[in-house]
Amino acid sequence: MLKVVTGFLVGMAIAVLLVYKLAAGMMFREVPSPFGMEETVARIQQNVLHAGNGWSLSGLRNAAKPIEMSGINVLPVMMIEACSTNYSAPILKDDSLRFLSNLMPCKISVYKKNDGKT
């Protein structure tokens, strides 16, 4: 019985580790931009506006601003918020899916790193 329990626990630990390692790669992707912050943000916004398929801009937020206002220096971080009615409407119309609204809108972060790259 001890071998079964030990095997189960080791299997669970491996499964949790795999999910932890693989999930981030499935949901997040970092792509270096050949442009500066402002141009990258502008190009992404234009791409959203011209994407069709129900996509629209829902906001642009300076995520670094509240931190800077408290006197702490951080590199720029802009969050572009976009949403597609093709994806959001089914979620918002169905009570059993509405809990997924916390994932809306889609956010694209544009940030500058310490090496100066965007």
- Tell me, yes or no, whether 38 and 84 share the same domain: yes
- Tell me, yes or no, whether 55 and 86 share the same domain: yes
Token pair in block for residue 71? 């006197």
Q: Count of domains in the chain?
A: 2
pLDDT at 21: 67
Which domain range does residue 25 map to? 1-30
pLDDT band (50, 70, 90) for residue 18: low
CA-CA distances (angstroms) from residue 28 to 23, 25, 32, 95, 107? 8, 5, 13, 27, 11
What percent of the chain shows pLDDT beyond 70?
A: 91
Query: Which of 16-28 are b and which e, b meaning 16 or more Cβ less than 10 Å from the residue's Cβ?
Result: eeeeeeeeeeeee
pLDDT > 70? residue 25 = no
